[in-house]
Chains A and B, each alone.
Chain A
Amino acid sequence: MTIAPVVIAPAIAKKPGGIGRARELGIFAALLLVVIAATVKNPNFLFSPDGWRDLLLTPSILVLVAVGQAIVIITRNVDLSVGSIMGLTAFLTGRLFIDIPGIPIWIVVIASVVFGALLGLINGALVAFAKVPAMVITLGTLYAYRGINVLWTGSDQIHPSDLPKEFLGLGTQQILTIPVLSIVALIVLALAAWYMRNTRGGREYYAIGSDPAAAELYGLQVTRRVLSAFVLSGALAGLAGVFYVTRYGSVSSQVGSGWELDAVGAAVIGGIAITGGVGSVWGAAIGAMLLMTINRALPILGIPDFWQRAVVGVLIIGAIVLDRVLAVRQKRQLIEARDES
């Protein structure tokens, strides 16, 4: 997955907008550093068919979840149920192929995405209309959806033999050495990024996250906008569920378990402020890539697998401290600029 090149203005340090770009570039640089360090140690990390594919393919699923999570966090909410939604939609995907032999793949994909969106709609309705905290609602639906998933699945499992070969093939097919799933994830990411940055609707998410009361007074449809954020998050988690099935070929009742914290972690690493209103989905995607890539790189760099979570923790804390430093610096620069004029 290639990141669109960012043109850096000469006096970037003087422009408030430059902070955001510096943030994403910083994480991207960290990602490059990890890849380079691992490749120097073992060229196969990057320069082998498996290595290259894993570099692009494995993060694709978390990228989707992280992008949805980023949109929700930008509105100053959080969605803890994305992992459970992913699990439910993954099982639905497998079930449809089993129960309706010969069903077209595109219908299954749409059904799963719509199902994920519906689950997100439930979250959004409760948060937006009932005016209750998103963390509590999605904590409740995290349990409820996971419970429903386990109830529905039982001890049942989806096996590769249950799935059409063409569907499983999507998990390994490539176009110009780039995996199909990565291309789809990149397209979704680009669409989300464009929408968030270049449309009035997208900008409204930031306005709501920056100051919900001001947004309300300004006349924005806060309720509807928050609702749509959760729907988007659910839909993307649904798509991630489909990706999971086509990538791994088997589904149990624990698919996606614990992914919600990884998604939030990726968004935070990527520069999304947990307090809302700041960050871009590009950052969340890069954060997701960094999280997943570092898991593969650590063993090569000589750090045992067991320390992976600790490194992730340091990464998250380091990211938010960096955000704080940048914010303080920006504030100081703005004050200086004001005093100069």
Chain B
Amino acid sequence: MTTTASTRVIRDYDRSLWRRIIVNREFAIIALLVLVVIVATVSIRGFAQPITVNYLLLDVAPILLIALPMTLVMITGEIDLSVGSMVGLASVVTGVLTEAGAPFEVAALAALTVGVVGGAFNGFLVTVVGLPSLAVTIGTLALFRGLAVGLLGTTAVTDFPETWTALAKAKIAGTTIPYIVIPFLILLAVFAVVLHFTPFGRGIYAIGLSKDAARFSGVDVERTKFILFVLSGVVAAFAGIFYTLRFGSARGDNATGLELQVIAAVVLGGVSVFGGRGHLHGVVAAVLLIGVLGSGLRLAGVTSDVINIITGGLLIFSVVAASVLAWAQRLRSKAGPPFRVAASPAP
């Protein structure tokens, strides 16, 4: 979402170190996650069972994976709504090629390639042609989904090698944690290092805060955004392959609506849709929070419609609360002693 946002400055150094670390949105989400886990463990029968952890992680894995590059994309002030459709398209490509007799490994590589191409297409339209990413990815949301449905119609491919489908559902030896967590943790580490400890990552924040200022500071805005859209596409394709293996079925409508779940979690995790702020640990906590809430409530017998209401309400509450806190902080800083340097909270 490209806007002519005015320059915003975030000054946080008038607060003590512990307040900077603890009193923020990400920590609130983490604290809420811990609280919900404790309450669910104590009051919901079956929640503490090891198998619950397994299914919970399998359920949220695609969202966790896609949320990583989505966080980076949204910190630049852009958005990618086509990820859900890319999951579906990658699923279909994997299925079609496997059915045609190609080795699964080749089919998976082809799916990842489609992810790269799709992401590059998004990136090209946003950076080279200069279009707003919201409009572009609404278009490619329909395009990729259309291609997925077009290739397979209403049929499904369900014949995948046992070794791969078993791997997708297998647990790490001695635990109930599914194997998908390993590539997720690797990606998380890579993304975190890139975002927080490289010039590229600092460039991402700079672009989100002020594209023009970033450009004049030497950040290659177009190249950075293009790379992020490609990353978004390829990670979505990877999630699509996992999705296919986990459910043992490639269908054109796989993961329909997943994009909104990803964005809801990313925003809940503290990323601003205007760009310039956000952290991966907040996003991961938010995905897990939504997953734990869903899992716990289902075990408690609550229907999915109530879970949707709670998820929607939680999302609204989190952004409104952040806005109110920012407003209160501005109010307090105005009333403070004149010699004090007031903090300028991000909008």
**Which residues of B lie under 8 Å from residue A133 when comparing CB positions?**
272-274, 319
A145 to B316, CA, bound (A): 12
Counting CB contacts under 8 A, is B313 at the interface? yes
Chain B's closest residue to A258 (CB) is B257
Interchain Cβ contacts under 8 Å between A and B, 28 examples? A80-B260, A130-B323, A133-B319, A135-B134, A136-B267, A137-B316, A140-B316, A141-B312, A141-B316, A142-B312, A143-B264, A144-B308, A147-B312, A150-B305, A253-B305, A265-B139, A268-B139, A274-B134, A275-B3, A306-B149, A306-B252, A307-B146, A309-B149, A309-B150, A313-B145, A313-B146, A317-B143, A324-B131
Q: How far is the CB of A2 from chain B (nearest CB, A)?
A: 28
Within 295-327 of B, Cβ neighbours of A (below 8 Å) are at 303-316, 319-320, 322-324, 327
Of B4, B125, B304, B312, the most chain A CB neighbours within 10 A belong to B312
Contacts of A317 in B (CB 8 A): 125, 136, 139-140, 143
Does B308 contact A313, Cβ atoms closer than 8 Å?
A: no
- B90 adjacent to chain A (CB < 8 Å): no
Whole-angstrom CA separation of A76 from B303 in the bound complex = 36
Q: Output the least CB separation between B47 and chain A (Å).
A: 22
Please give, as numbers and ranges, the residues of chain B lying within 8 Å of A148 by CB-CB distance: 305, 309
* Interface of A toward B, CB cutoff 8 Å: 76, 78, 80, 126, 130-133, 135-137, 139-151, 211, 213, 253, 258, 261, 264-265, 268, 273-275, 304, 306-317, 320-321, 324
Question: Is B138's CB within 8 Å of the partner chain A?
Answer: yes
Task: List which B106-164 residues lie within 8 A (CB) of chain A.
Answer: 125, 129-132, 134-136, 138-147, 149-150, 152-154
Beyond A147-B312, A261-B138, A317-B140: 14 further Cβ-contacts under 8 Å?
Answer: A78-B134, A133-B274, A137-B319, A140-B315, A142-B312, A144-B313, A147-B305, A147-B306, A147-B308, A148-B309, A149-B305, A309-B146, A313-B145, A317-B139
CA distance A315 to B152 in the complex (A): 21
What are the residues of chain B within 8 A of A314 when measuring CB–CB? 139, 143
Interface centre among B1, B272, B319, by most A CB within 10 Å?
B319
Q: Check B139–A136 contact: CB distance below 8 A.
A: no
Instruction: Fill in one digit per residue for B191-211: 1 if any A CB lies within 8 Å of its CB, else 0.
Output: 000000000000000000000
CA distance A302 to B4 in the complex (A): 44
A312 / chain B contacts, CB cutoff of 8 Å: 142-143, 146
How many angstroms from the CA of A335 to the CA of B64 in the assembled complex? 48
**B147 surroundings in chain A (CB, below 8 A):** 310
A interface majority secondary structure: helix
Given contacts A133-B273, A139-B264, A274-B132, contact A147 B309 (CB under 8 A): yes
**B275 → chain A closest CB, angstroms:** 11
Considering only CB atoms, which chain B residue lies closest to A264 in the complex? Answer: B138
Question: B287 — which chain A residues lie within 8 A by C-beta?
Answer: none
CB neighbours of B140 from chain A (8 A): 313, 317
Which 9 A-B residue pairs are closest in the complex by CB-CB distance? Answer: A313-B143, A310-B146, A309-B146, A143-B312, A144-B312, A147-B308, A150-B305, A316-B139, A147-B309
B306 touches A316 (CB 8 A): no
State which residues 1-29 of B face A: CB under 8 Å. Answer: 1-4, 6
Question: Is A320's CB under 8 angstroms from B146's CB?
Answer: no
Specify which chain B residues have a CB less than 8 angstroms from the CB of A307 in the assembled complex.
146, 149-150
**Shortest Cβ distance from A138 into chain B, in angstroms?**
9
Asked whether any CB of chain A lies closer than 8 Å to the CB of B347, the reply is yes
Residues in A whose Cβ lies below 8 Å from that of B3: 76, 275
Please give the distance in Å from B318's CB to the nearest CB on chain A.
9
